[in-house]
Structures are given as structure tokens and as C-alpha cells.
Structure 1
Amino acid sequence: MQNPLIRYAVEVGWTYLPPDEALRLRRGETGIVLHEVLIRQLQRLNPGAVDDVVKAEEVIGRLTRVMPNIEGNLQAWEWLKGLKTVFVAAERRERNVRLLDPDTPEANTLHVTDELRFISGTKTVRPDAVFFVNGIPVIVVETKAAHRVEGIAEAFDQIRRYHREGPELLAVLQVHALTHLVRFYYGATWSLSRKDLYNWRAEQAGDFETLVKHFFAPRRVLRMLTDYILFARKDGELSKVVLRPHQMRAVERVLQRCRDPEKRRGLIWHTQGSGKTYTMITVAKRLLEDPAFGNPTVLMLVDRNELEQQLFTNLEAVGFGHVTVAQSKRHLYELLRSDQRGLIVSMIHKFDDMPANVNTRRNIFVLVDEAHRSTGGDLGNYLMGALPNATYLGFTGTPIDKTAHGKGTFKVFGVDDQPKGYLDKYSIRESIEDGTTVPLHYALAPNDLRVDREILEREFLDLAELEGVSDVEELNRVLERAVTLKNMLKNADRVDRVAAFVAQHFRETVEPMGYKAFLVAVDREACALYKEALDRHLPPDYSAVVISRGHNDPPELARWHLTTEKEQEIRKAFRRPDALPKVLIVTEKLLTGYDAPILYCMYLDKPMRDHVLLQAIARVNRPYEDEEGRKKPAGFVLDFVGIFDNLEKALAFDSEDVQSVVQGIDVLKERFATMMAEARCDLLPLVSGKPQDKAGEAVLEHFRDREERHRFFEFFRELQELYEILSPDPFLRPYMADYEELARMSRLLRSAYEPAILIDRGFLRKTEQLVREHTETYFVGPPKGMARLTVEALERLAASDQPDTVKVFNLLKAIRDLVEEEGTRSPFLISIGDRAEAIAQAYQDRQATTQETLQQLQILVQEYREAREAQNLIKLSPEAFAVYWFLRKEGVAEAEEVARRVGQALERYPHWRLSEEQGRELRIALYKVLMDAGIETVIEVAERLLKMLWRKDG
């Protein structure tokens, strides 16, 4: 993957730099930038400010000496963005320094190199590919071969390791990318959660060449570095994001619309959870920073106090200069009338009764958040009347409902030249495919816990005034009149039975997955009732009530009021998997704008529909992945009202817009049953009726083909995701024995064929628990009682009466374990381990039979015995003996004498791994010794020896 990636990058404008040339320009293996290139470009881009080499070196020093952490990464980005300054003595002032030119790609010098070796202290990292702009490393790429089952996970682990072991280099790098055949992912450096890894999708074809060429197009890379990276500081903690593909696309389309003097409208639907707020913020920054827009006014509108504060917090967090918040209708009017420039944040209701033509300037850009509800009634008319020549851009997290066409949102923002009136659309289906959100599933609670269907229809679902309801306050007003329905929902006996059901379901289904839950009650009083009831079935600290406070609340409600500080504490604790509470009881607060990826389950006991329902259930669609790589398979809604009994009434949108938004649990049961039927037909006969060793042999032989193995891993991954969601449903009982057998197969194959991956990494929590408690692995690994991996132990393993296939994999595992345990003290084992891996690869590729492979491994075991015996006779240091054994296997006549001289050189240069000078001197000494010994391929042999000795320390 590495070679074609570089080739395609070169074809779109990057220049390939061989590693030795990159090393020269970096001035050694501790160097970060390409000095000559950066000095030249600094002088070109900053005439009058950076005119001499001394000043350029000063800038380079400041850039490369940033702190080796995310704080330093922010400073490095500020250099790239042109926000840092140098003092110009002749002008007696500070001037901003430009390190790159994002508007003129051809003015920049672009390089890509591979196998870049960087030394940090005692550690060395060697990224597969690094991209430089004007000599500054900006993107690091890790590639994995297509046959690696967990290729992306392995590549991401490498990126994480680079942060730990080469932080000085990573402090300057801004973006990382991972590729595994046609899959291509990217993310921001110093943002190392799996959920922040994004699927790169080109608008055209999805083949590898197209993906690479579109991602590394110079104009796109420069724009990404300067405009699509955001640093946010919240609660004193700095975080970093890079925009996803759909966000970049939307920003560019919005700006294109803003430049068009003939078109003044745009509607952007990016489904809930796909980063709409950061898209809006990036649009605002670009509008204000681009001189082409003539120092404009950007007006950001929201519709509720909480959202206004949230937006302001986000703006502040990303370091958005000066922001003016309209405090009142009068204040907003004065700001607009006085021709205020820059960014203004206001709530939409402050336009109520606003006079016409308050400001007729054309470079006013109005960005409306949650546009599906913000411009209802006459507010849209007042807004457009006050600013008649402004450009209006509506952002919504839910699709436009069927009732809205021709009025409301469409009247203000919809445009005729785009499909369905959207300037940009990122649907629910697309977000699930990309992993931006996870699928949603639902189940109906038992009939005796749900409300009467006839009353639900009459007092709620059949009400015309609720069609397209977009605001929870509007919904609450309707529910206030649904007296019978509310009384049913808050019936004391029902509340207690629902609480008991919720507690049991949470304990048995949600908690074992490691996730958390919301209980959504019909109103604030119901929240209080549920808290008291839930405390009878769960520990009190498991749950917390989060509701807004009323001035005249009775004591039974007032006792659940929270201070602002306490509410913030609960919000933060809920996001952490290891902290309490585990269940939040809510009715209105937190149903919009609150993101907690750990949230998996919503117990829904409040009638909802349309936009309000979509926004609420979207709380559980955020991706989550833990440090072990276990991912949240889906979000889940347990419906105690019966809303999902009639999805067409609950979600009045075009069917293609809400396609796959939420699926019933019965669909998953059908899929699980179908897959188990396939497994019983195609997979389980492999082991049926066979003793353990024969069963294991059959599985290993059947799955020697890599493609066949990959298909099984994908099959079992989907199957266990279904199991994770369904367990412990009684529906699973007839399948449990067979499912355990498939889990054993998966464990065996991962252990045998994917030794670099932790075996349990492929298991979700419930399957991992099942494997730990109920299943035994077939046989892979040394037999019980083999405490130490001695020569004799390996020989017993080779001579055991197990089937040959079993012996092959047991010997391979034992040799791998031996190299891992003893390689540091006995580096000669590294070359034995390398040959074992080559034997294993040939076996997997069917280039050798089982018997041939077993013979080759037995020869290695015999070689191990000979090496141990020789080591006792020949008095050499462990490193020198490793050289001796390597040269002996290469047929070098005077191997012992050569090894002794190499050992002396190693003693002369003990810090050759850390010191560039000692490393160079050792190479020279090594070349001389090898030439004196008459070896023809001196450089090749020397490099192989140094690579072996380097690996001695991991």
C-alpha cells in the first residue's frame, strides 16, 4: 500500500524525497523539518520580515521547540495558520509570519518521503510516509497490507505509539491517515479516540487511487491545515478536531453560495450527531477571514437560551476572537442599525416585531441553527424584512417534514436549484455507513406496561397541530392538555412496574455492555416519581434527575433542583464509563445538544413525534469505542409508550430521508436466526462429532485460505454485534451452544493466524464474558504443564502425538513466545523468529504442505539447540554471538572472528542507537570488518545485522 500511495501522491503534485535525502535535509535522525526547503520558503513568503538565514533559523527553532504535547501542537498550528509573529528591527514592530500559502498551492513546496526514522530520547519511530509542506511535516500516514484482518486497528495503534515515543515530531504534525487496501481513514493528531477516526470518501469513485488523489490534492491539504482543524478548550482541557468529509464539502458549498450575487438562500441538512455546530463555526470563520467578503456581519441565530449558551461556549472554546451576544431585542436592533461588523450571536425570537430594512447591506450572512424550528410563524418574515439583502443559510439536524414544503423552513431557506431544496445533505443512512453515527434499534415494552393505544391516538398521535412538531416546549403544551394520557403515564402502580422493568433490563442488558442509559419521563413530576421508584430497585447513586427548575415548584420537585455546578458535575461524570451515575432521568433538558457517546439505551416514557422524536433518540446514536477497540454496535430505544408501533405516524418525513433511522429488534432477531442457519449449514459441520484436536485441525485447515478467513471474521463480527444487542433475550437459548462453538472458532483462528493481535480484541463484552466463562480454546499454545520454553520443551512439542496441523501452530506460537520472552537477552533468537514467520507465511499461502512446514520448524528447534550449545562454548557477548550465529547461517568462513571484532566495535560505540555520530562510526567499523572477511554484499549484510541488533531492544 505504501508504494502506490506515494505514486498517486506524486501524480497530483507532491515530490518524492528518498529517505537518505530527507535525512540530509533534516540534519539527522532527530531533525523535524527539511531545513534548506523551509529557509528558502520562509524568505520567499515573508519578504522584509524574514530576509536572512539567521531570522529563518530563529523561526525554525521556535517552531520545532514547541512543547511535545497537544499544547505544542496548537502552537505549531498557529504557525501554519500565520498567527505567529517575528520582530522586524527595521520597522520596529512585530509582523505575522507565513509558513505556507493556502490560496496559491503552486507557491508551496510539497514533498513526501517514506520510512522516516525519527529518534526521540531512547525511542525510535519509523512512520510509513510523511508529507511535508515547505519543509514542515504536516501529515503522517500508516499503511497496512490488505491481508491484515485488523489492519486499521493495528495502524491506529502505531499512530498512538508515535505520539508516545516521538512526541516532538507529532507536536508539529497536524493530521494522520491510515489505509488498508481501499479503506482510507484520517484524523487529527493528538485526538486518539477511535470515534475521531473518519472514513475518507471521495465524491467520485471509491477506488484506492481516487481516494488518495482526492485526499492529497494540494489545494485540499492546504485548506485542511489552515481552515478545517479546530482546537477547543473546554473545562480547562484542550482537544482537537479535523472536519469530516461532509463538513468540508458543506463549508465549500456554503461559501460558494455566499459568493454568488444572484442566490441568497441555502439549506443544509446534516443529520443529528454529524458535527453541524463545527460546520457552522468554520463557515463563520471563513466568511470573516476572507477579504473577498469585505469585512461582513455574520449573524448566528439559535432558538433557545440553553442552545445560545452552548453555541457561545463552543465559539469561545475554539478561540473565536470577538463575539457579540445580543442581550435583548433592542440591543439586537441597535447592533444591526449601527452596522456592527464581525460575529453576532442572538436568539431568533429577538427578531419578533423587528422593523423592516434595519440594515440593507448585502454582505450580511445569517446562519440559523436548527432552522426547522427557528423560523416558524412570523419570525422568518420579520428576519427577512429586517435584513432584505442578506444571505440566509439554514442548518438543520433533521430532514424537512412533509408538512413543511412551501412554508416555514423552505420559504426562508429552500432553493429551487438543488434537490429537494437542500444546498447540502448528509443523510442518516450516509452517517451510519461512515460510522459518524451508529444504527438505532427499538423494542416495544410489554403490553401491560404501555399506555392504552386508543387514548394515545386520540390525545396525541391524531392531533393535526402536532404534525411536524419541532420544539419540545410546543410538545409539552400539547401534552398538558392530554390529561388522561398523562395520568396513565404517571399512575403510581405503573411507574413502579416500569421502574422495576428498567432496573432489570439495565442490569442484565445494558450494564454488561459497559454503557449507560436515559429514562425519559413525560414531565418534571414524572421524573421525580421515577427517581423514587428506581431507587427501590437500583442503588440510589446509579441514577440522577436533571430537570429545569420552576419558581413555584413544590417540595417534591424542588428537592431535585441542581445548582449549575452540580449539574455540570453530573453531565461530565455521566460521560465517563467508570463513573456514576449510570442512568439520567430527564424530560426536556439534555434531549438536545448533549452528547455522551457512552449513552446506549433510552427508556422512552414520553409521547414524542417528528423532529422532537428524532432529536431525542439521536442522543443514543453517537459512536463510542474503548481503549481495547470494542465499539458500540448501535443505539437502543425501549418504548414504554407505543410510539414506534406506528412509525409512519411517529415520523412524518419522506421515507428515503429516514430510511434505516430506527429498526425494530425483531429485524435483528430474524437476521441472527438467518446467520445461525448459515453457520449450522456451512461452518459447524467442520467440528461436529470430532474430538478437540481433530476439530481444531479441521478448522485450521479449512481456513488456511486468507479470503475464507476474512469472510468468517466479518461474518462473526456481525453475528456478535447482534448477540451483544439481543443478549440475554430468551430468544437466544436455542442458539447458545452453537454460538459458543463459533466463538471458539474465532478465538482459535485469531490466535493461530493473527498472533500480533490480542485474542480478545475481536470480542465484544458479552461474547468475551461468554468465552471466559463457558468455552475452552481448542488447543493452540504449549500443553499444560510447560512452564518454561526450553529446548527440551520445544522438542517434546514437536514429538507429541497431536495432529501435524496442530503441531505446526503450537510450534509457531511457542517460538513466537520464546522470541518475545528471551529475544532481549538472546538476540540470536530474533533471526530464528524471522525465519519462523517466513515459514508461517509460506504455509498460509499454501506454498508448503503441512508436513514440509513441520519439518522446517523442527529444523529451527534443532538449530535452537545447536545455538544454545554453541553459546556455552564460545565466550562472546549476547550481541556478538547473535552476529556470529547470523554470519554462520550466511556461510561466512571466519564467522567467530568477525563476530568478535563486531563485538569490540559495539563496545566502542555503546550509544550507537541514540547518538547519530556513534551510529555512523559503528557503520563504518562494521563495513570494514565485513570487507576484511571477504563478504561481497557488505552494505546489505551490515543493514540486516544492524536491524537485528536494533530490534533486540524492541
Structure 2
Amino acid sequence: MTDPYINSEPKVQKDSIKLLENLGYTFISEDENKSKRNNLKDVILKDILKEQLNKLNSYNYKGKTYKFSEKSIENAIDDLDVPLTEGLIKSNEHVYDQLILGNSYEETLDDCSKRSFSMKYIDFDNPENNVFHVTEEYSVQKQNLNQIEKNKRPDLILFVNGIPLGIIELKRSSVSVEEGISQIINYQNKELIPHLFRYIQIAVAGNPREVYYATTGTEKKFWSVWKEDLSNELLNSIVKNRIPTKLDKDIYSLFNKARFLEIVKEYTIFDANIKKIARYQQYFAIKETLKSIDNFDANGIRSGGLIWHTQGSGKSLTMVMLTRALKRKINNSKIIVVTDRVDLDKQIKETFFHARLEVLRATTGQNLVKLLKENKDAVITTVINKFESAMRNDIINDSSNVFVLVDESHRTQYGTFHAKMKKTFPHACYIGFTGTPLMKKEKNSFSKFGHMIHKYTMDQAVADKAVVPLLYEGREVPQEIIDKVWLDKKFELISRDLSDEQKEDLKKKWAIFQKVASSERRLEVIAIDINEHFKKNLSGTGFNAMLATNSKFEAVRYHKIFENYGDITTAFVISPPDLKEGVEELDDENKKLVQNEWGKIIKNYVSEEDYEDRIKSQFKAGEIDLLIVVDKLLTGFDSPRTTTLYVDKELKDHRLLQAIARVNRLYDEKDCGFIIDYRGLLGKLDKALTSYTSLANFDEEDLGTTMINTEQEIHLFKTYYSHLIDLFKPVKNKTDREEYEVFLANDNLRKEFYKYLKHYAKHLGYALSSEQIYDLVDDLKKYKNALKFYVELRKNVSLRYYERIDFGKYEEHMQKLLDTYIGASDVEHLTELVNIFDVENFNREIVRVEGGRAKADLIKSAVEKHIKHSFDENPVYYQSLSERIKEVLEKYHEKRISDEEYLKSMQDVLKDVQSKNMDLKTYPKLISESPDAKVIFDNIYEYFADYTGNGFEDDLAEISMKFDSEIKKNLKVNWVESQDVHNSIKQGIEDLLWDLEDEKEISVDNEKIIERIMTMAISRYG
């Protein structure tokens, strides 16, 4: 068998097509996919769709079966052409509704009456009744034609009944899948080919080793992996004569006919104008649940159980998809969703509503009883205390089609839930959801509800990049601060890396702290530490943080301390003073402070709920730096930009696991979440998690690596430092920056350099933000200076080699790192490359570069990029230009010319390019004033090489003029996308070549000449 990892992109593409053919897809060639469309803006293969609509649809009237009229079929096709005026996701949603539900069309009947009948586009129940096609290099006309490139050409498009529902972008093993993801996301830009993505349901980017999938509109960070065990027997039946790759497995898993249609119909939802597709754990959890409920015990009760999916992995979406699947599978089913908190109940109700499921929220026990007795199809949501109130009634419903979905079902308040539920719903099926593992004592008690249906742990979610890993740092502050040595050391730790001015500011805060009552000193020390940590590491990055405190008084006190400092914006969310939350206040003064501060704030809002909602919205938007909480918002609250949780609160068991998960959500350029613990809940995290009291009630295997000690992460920056040192080993003079820049002339070496630098800066930043760094690393100055040097080197080489390497939002974080800890020059703010035809500004770029060789390298790199971009416009000219540059480089590397001569030669090349004079010789008079004809003359010259002689060039000039005229007479708006125009030009060129053979007895390779002319015409005349 051949090695699947020795490959090129064409081979990967060919193998993927063959696999899809083995799955029952019919291949359509690139030429065929063009001929099957009127123009390249069309993306549906209408003839195939028309045929399938006729095949799949009919209607019955008075005992007879009829086929739909031609008009109805045409209308059905036209109705899929949804405009993009409401945005891509809305148009995709409108198309999706039609694909799933079909449309109704009016027919004129034999008795001259008119009635409407339903027509479907896809037979989801019988996959084999549909036709599946795959095509490659699917050229689609861009929305914005005011660009040189008129089309985009995805690698593979998968059609169901002629409708493009799948897209695959392929790369060879050595190329990052991220490139494919970025391409697919870029295609959806309003100026490119969003009209194709009105129909796309599953998008895949992959190489033989790595594959990610998504749907239309999915942000890069939410692209997911698919994992599934497939038998060798199955794989060998669909992959012939080579070893199956990860790409093969995932193409089978996502695009075998039945699964493809199943995912589209059952595992895709729209949630508040965001399209979402199930992750693999959601898919298999729902499949297992649907299988489980088909089993009944002796009393006719369906088999339920527990779904444990770690927090942040999409548990709410799983509940929505399962609910929809249950309603579709079980007629007259009644579904009740139970939570333990009003805010969670509200959140889940909104999630169901956005997913377009009819949902009713029971606000009282009486209201719940009423809803349960009504014969409505809606999903009912409620909180546990309302449910228990309702269950004091006698039997409400004894159907086995009642399903009770309970969120966080392990909690103690559910202890008596099962018995009461059995009384009110004797045959109901219980399905529990949890985001944290069961404690040891819960495992036995839970068995009465059923088995473990499916689990997806924190370790799995981190490995799949569904959540970010969590880094833990213990900074325990004693309850009573009387140790002066400890205080002095703490001051030194906090003040490290501060400028003299910043240290003076800190000393003022420290002086205030030393005057406060000893009982509040601890809060002041922690507040100063948080304040400085936030300023150093989070201010200006777009990230924010939460602080978990032990009581409402502490929350308010922290808020006032931060207000006095005036460095960061804070807010607190607590329960009203008369409600219990956290540690109860015994001190009257403390109670009075809480009441006063609460009163000041709440008077500016309509209600407590209004205040909480607005604070949450502001925090999620990044308008609040630090949100201070007691119990509220430590569970069920998602704020993806929140990257740090400061803990000054006693937490254990589920509460601890739920709290730390506030910072594990995905966000742009967020690589991990940070837990900074001032309570010593997990000490130094240098032992097994279950050896700490806070997590002792769990099994170690269930916790996995829930958190990572920051010390482990710290050492990673040393690893990337070593990679950088190794990369530059061939540089002999380590003090010569020019030698470094010359060494990085190689594209691949620059890519390695950029990659290592990004990781080095990131992990050094993590290290410098930790107190532990000063105990672990002796020579920090060396590492800081290295970062400063490499950042400057990056700026210089990106300019010298005419490229912009964008680190994304990490540019801001790198600048923050330099400002805070290094004191280096600014990170280069990346802008668009200056066009070489913008002579004045490009000359300014040249002036910015120091040294003759560096200036010459910049010109060379810029011209080479122009050649690559424009090559098809005039291949012979640009090939000669490439050879000219190559010749100069050879002379320079062989030291036959100096730096000055190298620069002069490159400046001459640049002037020739900027002049736009592409003449390669003296041309016959006939074409001397026609630039287009001269380009044609140069590019067909080689095909007539056998006929050189007297008058040859005049004959060639004449045919070049005729070719030019033939092209221009066919030009019209959007001609590049019109296959009819292409065919007309090709036919005209071929006729002229036949005439030439008849008149001059010149016989040439017509096919190659036509291909060359068409390539040039599209680029030059398009």
C-alpha cells in the first residue's frame, strides 16, 4: 500500500474524490460543472435539481396521482435563489427551512379548480432516493467584480439533488489546516462568494493528518474535530490500495449519504442568527439517548440516564437538539426542562426560543400544573421548587411519553426529586445533564434514575479545543497579616517590573493599606495584588476578569477599594441585602455598608433583574474590567472574553468546578484561562487533585487534568527559547543583525521563526505574570532581551521580504508584554503592503530599510510577488523577468557583483515593471502601437518556431491582431463567467488557426495555443 502521508494537494484531492465515489457519489469534472451552469454566478446544478424534483414529487387528488407542472418545478428552483439582503445567515436559514420543510405550489386540477400541494427538495427519510455528486475546482463568480481575480474556486463541492450542501478545502500534510479554514471563512465575505454559502450545510478543511468541520458562518475558533471509531473492515471497503487517513475517516463520517442528510436535518440549528452544527459528542450523546429510550422496563417506563458533558462544551445546545429529536421521534411527547435557579431557567428558555422551539416558562407551581395538564406541544421550562410544588398534586400524566430533562441533576436538592416525580409522573423518563463529574457518594444514588448514557470530560474537551485549558496559581494570603517579612516580600513581588513612577504610585497605596484596620488588611493586600496583576497583564487586551468573594460585604468592600485606586472598572452582582448569599454577615456595620451601596446602585435601575442584566451585558461587551460576585454568576454564566478568575472564597466539590469553568470558554486569541487562588484551595497544585479537601469527594480519574499548575506552563517559554536558539545556530556572528536577516531569506525558515516567536512571547508572558517565575528562573534578563531582539528582527524581515505576518489580536498582547515587562520599541502595526506601482510610497518603504542588500531584497521580494500575481497576464514577459532576477541573484551569491550593483540591478528591474512597458523586442509595424497584440505575439511565438523565415514575423503579427480582435468583439459585462463567451472565443481562435493552415500551410498545436490565449485573455482582458 502507498504511504498516505507522502502526498501533494492534487493527490489528496484525487483520493478524496475516489473515496466519495466509493460512497455512491457521481463525479462531475471541472469542465462539466461549468457546462451545467448558465454562468459562473449560478451555483445550483439546475438540470439535476429539475430532474430530481420531478422524480421525488407528486400529489394525489380524487384517487389519482399527478406530477407537478413545469411551472411549479421552475418556481421551486427559483425560490431557492434567496437574496442576501438580510445577510448571509438569514438567507441560509431561509434556504434551510425550504430544504427541510419543502414548499407548497398551486396546481390547476382536471376539474379546473386550484389547490396547493407540498413539494420537497430532498428525501431525508430515504437517502438513496436522492442523487449525490462531487465536483472539483468549482469556479464561482465573486460578488465584487472590481478586482483582478474574478472567481473563487473551492477544491470540492458536494451536491444533493444538484444543490451544493457541502464544501471541502484540502491541503497536503505539510500545510496547516488553518489555511483551509481561513479560505472557507474568507469565501463567505460579502465581496467574494457568499451566494454559494446560502446552501452550504457542512464545511470541511483538512489534510491527511488533521480535519476540522463547521457550517456556514462558523467563526474560526468554533471549528470542531470529529472523532468516531470505524472498523478496519469498513475502512478497507471504501479506501482501496492505500492506508486510510484521518481525512478519509472524517469524510466517511460526515458525508456518507445517510449521515450527511441526518446531520443537516437533525443536528443543525439556528440560535439567535448564529448557525450551529453538532459536535461529535453532542451527536453521539443524542443518538445513544434515542436508542436508550426505546428500551422499557417491566412497568413500561423508558430507560433514561445521565449525560455528563463538561462545562463549556455545549450542554445547553445538546438539550435543545435532544428535545427536538424527541419531539420528532415520539408523537404527543411532553417535555419538561428543570433547573435549580431562576436565571438558568430564563437562560434555557431563551436558548430554546432562539432555536425556534415553542417553549413555555412556568413561573409558579400552579402555572406549571396548568401547563402540564394542557394538551400543548410546547416545551415547558421551570425551576425545581415550582416542580416540587406541582408534584404535590395527584397523577398529572401517566404516559410513558413524558420526558423530564434535568440540568445539573447531581445536586443535593434533587435528592427527593425522583420519588416525587414517580408519584406525579409514574411512567416518565428522566434524563439528567451535568457539566461536572459525579462525586463518589452520588454515583450509587444516581443509579435509580438510569445509567451513564454518555460522557465527555474536561480532558477530552481540552484535547478537542472545545474549551481552553486552565492554569492554576496559588497566592494564598493569610487571614491575619502580622508578619512584616511576609508583607515586605509581597510588596517586592507586586512591584517587580514597575517603573520608578509606577513604584511611587504603589507605595502610596501600600501606605494607605498599612493604616487600615487589621481586619481589613487582607482585603487590601489582595486588592492591590489584583489591581497590579490586572494592569500588567489584562488592561488593554480586550480580556476581563471575575473575582469570587465570600460574602456580600466583601464584594462591596472590594468594589470600593478598586474605586479608590481608580485604575480598573469594577462592578458587583449580589443578591439584595435581605436575601442570604455566601457567608452571612453578623456585624451590623457590615450589613449597613451593603444596604447603603445596594441602595445607591439599584435606584438607577428599573429592578434588580434590570441591574443584573445590564451589568452582565456590559461585562460581556468588555466595558467592565472586573466583575465581583459571591454566588451569583459562578454557574451558568458565559462570558467568553473573561480569562482570569481571582478566588477569595471557600469553594469545594461541584461549586469549585463550576466556578473555574467561567474562564474556559473559547475567545479570539485566548489560549487558556487563569485561576489565581488567594484561599489556598489547592495549595501549590503539586499533588493529585483529590488529595486536596476541596476536591476529595471525586474519583481522580473523573477529574483528569482539570487544572494545570502554572509552574508546568512556565517552563514552556524556555522550550521555545531553545527552538529559536537552535533555528539560528547557522548564524556565525550573533551580534550582526544583518546576518540574521539574510539567514531568514528562506520562506520556510521565516515561517518557523514567526511560529516560534509567537509561542515564545505568549509563554514568556504567562511566566512573567506569575509570582512563581522569580523562584524558578534565575536569568530573566536574558529572556527579556531575547524577546526584544526577536520582535525587532520580525519587524525588519517582514519589511525586507515584502510580507505582512499577522499575529492577529496577539499583536496587542505582545505590545502589552513589551510595555509592561521589557520596555522595548513598539510592535510593528501591520498594514496592507504598499503597491509597487504607488511609486512615491513604495520609495518610502525602500528608504525605511537599512543597507543596500536589504533594500535590494525588498525590491526583489515585491517584484516576485507581482510576477506571481500577474503571471497569466503575460507569461513570456514575466518568465523573462523571473529569469533576469535569478541571473542577478546568482551573480550576487557568487560575489561577482557588489551590494551596490545588486541594488542597482533590482532598481532597474523595478523601473521596468513600474513603467508597464512589456516590450521584449522590436515588433513588426502592424502591431507596434497595439500592446495587447504584442503580448499575444510574444506568447504564441514559441508555437510557430518551426516556421521562422522571411515574412514569418509579419504573418505572426497579423494573426496576433486577429486574435486580439476576436477576443475583444466577444467581450461583454461579466464575460469571464460566461461559458458561452468562452466557447465563442475558443471557436473563433480555432477558425483563425484553420484559416492560417489553409492559407500559409502552417500547422501548429491548436489546443495549446487556444489554452494559452484563454488563460491570458481571462487575466488581461477580464
Is 1:615 paired with 2:645? no
List alignment gaps of at least 5 residues for structure 2.
Answer: 1-11, 61-66, 231-243, 484-515, 580-593, 775-779, 946-951, 997-1001
Is 1:722 paired with 2:763? yes
Is this contact kept in 2: 1:503–1:538, CA < 8 A?
Answer: no
For 2:80, what is the secondary structure of its paired residue? helix
Alignment partner of 1:170 out of 180, 197, 206: 197
List alignment gaps of at least 5 residues for structure 1.
Answer: 416-421, 454-487, 626-630
Alpha-carbon distance, 1:304 to partner: 1.3
Distance 1:276 1:696, change over 3 A: same
2:22 and 2:885 map into 1 onto residues whose CA distance is: 37
Per the alignment, residue 999 of structure 2 pairs with: none
Is this contact kept in 2: 1:444–1:642, CA < 8 A?
Answer: yes
Deviations 1:840-861 (A, max 9, x none): 99999xx999769999998998
Alignment partner of 1:370 out of 398, 403, 408: 408
Is 1:115 paired with 2:142? no
Per the alignment, residue 243 of structure 1 pairs with: 278
What does residue range 47-86 of structure 1 map to in structure 2 within 5 Å? Answer: 47-48=58-59, 51-67=68-84, 69-82=88-101, 84-86=103-105
1:296 and 1:716 map into 2 onto residues whose CA distance is: 57
What does residue range 768-779 of structure 1 map to in structure 2 within 5 Å? Answer: 773-774=824-825
2:47 and 2:653 map into 1 onto residues whose CA distance is: 60
Alignment partner of 2:458 out of 416, 428, 451: 428
**1:549 alignment partner AA:** P
Alpha-carbon distance, 1:632 to partner: 0.9
Alpha-carbon distance, 1:218 to partner: 1.1
Per the alignment, residue 220 of structure 2 pairs with: 194
Alignment partner of 2:125 out of 103, 106, 115: 103
For 1:277, what is the secondary structure of its paired residue? helix
Aligned CA-pair RMSD: 4.4
Per the alignment, residue 348 of structure 1 pairs with: 384
Distance 1:118 1:728, change over 3 A: same
Deviations 1:718-773 (A, max 9, x none): 433312423456654331223445556767888899x7763545965333667895
Distance 1:6 1:527, change over 3 A: same
Alpha-carbon distance, 1:6 to partner: 1.8
**2:784 alignment partner AA:** M
Is 1:390 paired with 2:436? no
Aligned sequence identity (%): 22
Alpha-carbon distance, 1:189 to partner: 0.7
Alpha-carbon distance, 1:269 to partner: 0.9
Compare CA radii of gyration and give the structure with the larger one. Answer: 2
Alignment partner of 1:591 out of 634, 637, 656: 634
Is this contact kept in 1: 2:56–2:120, CA < 8 A?
Answer: yes
Deviations 1:489-544 (A, max 9, x none): 9943333332232222111101243311112222333222222211222357x222
Deviations 1:203-240 (A, max 9, x none): 3486222122212111111011111111122xxxx221
What does residue range 396-411 of structure 1 map to in structure 2 within 5 Å? Answer: 396-407=434-445, 409-411=446-448
For 1:560, what is the secondary structure of its paired residue? helix
2:163 and 2:837 map into 1 onto residues whose CA distance is: 53
Per the alignment, residue 861 of structure 2 pairs with: 813
Alpha-carbon distance, 1:197 to partner: 1.5
For 1:424, what is the secondary structure of its paired residue? strand
Per the alignment, residue 734 of structure 1 pairs with: 782
1:852 and 1:119 map into 2 onto residues whose CA distance is: 48
Is 1:34 paired with 2:60? no
Distance 1:433 1:643, change over 3 A: same
Alignment partner of 2:672 out of 622, 625, 634: 634
Alignment partner of 2:1011 out of 932, 943, 947: 943
Is 1:257 paired with 2:292? yes
Alpha-carbon distance, 1:188 to partner: 1.6
Is 1:870 paired with 2:932? no
1:941 and 1:404 map into 2 onto residues whose CA distance is: 77
Deviations 1:650-674 (A, max 9, x none): 2242223222211121111133234
Alpha-carbon distance, 1:436 to partner: 0.7
Is this contact kept in 2: 1:812–1:840, CA < 8 A?
Answer: yes
**1:161 alignment partner AA:** Y
**2:437 alignment partner AA:** P
Is this contact kept in 2: 1:88–1:94, CA < 8 A?
Answer: yes
Distance 1:875 1:401, change over 3 A: farther
Is this contact kept in 1: 2:213–2:224, CA < 8 A?
Answer: yes
2:537 and 2:479 map into 1 onto residues whose CA distance is: 19
**2:431 alignment partner AA:** L
Is this contact kept in 2: 1:684–1:742, CA < 8 A?
Answer: no
1:79 and 1:449 map into 2 onto residues whose CA distance is: 64
Per the alignment, residue 559 of structure 1 pairs with: 600
1:796 and 1:603 map into 2 onto residues whose CA distance is: 49
Deviations 1:23-43 (A, max 9, x none): 333333232322222122222
What does residue range 456-495 of structure 1 map to in structure 2 within 5 Å? Answer: 491-495=519-523
What does residue range 296-695 of structure 1 map to in structure 2 within 5 Å? Answer: 296-321=333-358, 323-336=359-372, 342-352=378-388, 354=392, 357-373=395-411, 376-407=414-445, 409-413=446-450, 415=451, 422-445=452-475, 447=477, 491-538=519-566, 542-550=569-577, 554-561=595-602, 562=605, 563=607, 564-565=609-610, 567-576=612-621, 579-625=622-668, 631-645=669-683, 647=689, 648-652=692-696, 653-677=698-722, 679-680=724-725, 683=728, 686=731, 689=734, 691-695=736-740
Q: TM-score, normalised by structure 2?
A: 0.76
**2:547 alignment partner AA:** L
Alignment partner of 1:132 out of 153, 159, 171: 159
1:452 and 1:268 map into 2 onto residues whose CA distance is: 49
Distance 1:924 1:129, change over 3 A: same
For 2:271, what is the secondary structure of its paired residue? strand
Alpha-carbon distance, 1:931 to partner: 5.4
1:698 and 1:41 map into 2 onto residues whose CA distance is: 60
Per the alignment, residue 902 of structure 1 pairs with: 963
Alpha-carbon distance, 1:308 to partner: 0.9
Is this contact kept in 2: 1:271–1:427, CA < 8 A?
Answer: yes
Per the alignment, residue 922 of structure 1 pairs with: 985
**2:76 alignment partner AA:** V
Alpha-carbon distance, 1:249 to partner: 1.4
2:325 and 2:844 map into 1 onto residues whose CA distance is: 68
Alpha-carbon distance, 1:247 to partner: 1.0
Distance 1:29 1:839, change over 3 A: farther
Distance 1:54 1:574, change over 3 A: same
Distance 1:332 1:870, change over 3 A: closer
**1:529 alignment partner AA:** R
2:545 and 2:751 map into 1 onto residues whose CA distance is: 34
Is this contact kept in 1: 2:474–2:682, CA < 8 A?
Answer: yes
For 1:394, what is the secondary structure of its paired residue? strand
1:22 and 1:489 map into 2 onto residues whose CA distance is: 80
Distance 1:88 1:449, change over 3 A: farther
**1:74 alignment partner AA:** E
For 2:430, what is the secondary structure of its paired residue? strand
Distance 1:644 1:833, change over 3 A: farther
Is this contact kept in 2: 1:202–1:214, CA < 8 A?
Answer: yes
Alignment partner of 2:185 out of 156, 159, 177: 159
Per the alignment, residue 463 of structure 1 pairs with: none
Deviations 1:457-506 (A, max 9, x none): xxxxxxxxxxxxxxxxxxxxxxxxxxxxxxx9994333333223222211
Distance 1:147 1:530, change over 3 A: same
**1:380 alignment partner AA:** H
Distance 1:28 1:671, change over 3 A: closer
